[in-house]
Amino acid sequence: MTADLEAQLRAASLRVTRPRLAVLAALRDHPHVDTDTVIALVRSDLPTVSHQAVYDVLRALTEAGLVRRIQPGRSTARYEARVGDNHHHVVCRSCGVIADVDCAVGHVPCLTASDDHGFVVDEAEVVYWGTCPDCAADRISQ
């Protein structure tokens, strides 16, 4: 797996470093995590990595298109390694868990704005809000 992550970094013209590999691995294994969680995950492999180093890596990976930053509603920013497929998210209003939702198949209505104001639209961000199965079960049992 490390060779794949190294290839991703090189393809994006980024230097291969241990912090970059650790952040990519953390996001591959733990999608939709916040910065503090990324730091904790990276520190399990690299205990001396600084907060600033992780912030810098997240910014570089996001700018290179290897990582996607999402911030549904007014929640804390989250990061994921699933990029380039215009997928969306469903968020639980109770616990905040986030899951991926694939975009519509065939004609993609979410990319057809009712008024694009002259923009050339190439991506749409849709967030579905609701209650996850665990929280719904907790409500029923109360």
131 CB burial (10 A radius; 0-12, 13-18, 19+) = middle
- For the cut 80, the answer to whether the pLDDT of residue 122 exceeds it is no
| Region 86-93 average pLDDT | 89
CA–CA separation, 40 vs 1, rounded Å?
Answer: 21
| Region 35-46 average pLDDT | 97
CA–CA separation, 46 vs 50, rounded Å?
Answer: 9
pLDDT at residue 108, rounded to an integer? 59
Q: Which pTM value belongs to this model?
A: 0.84
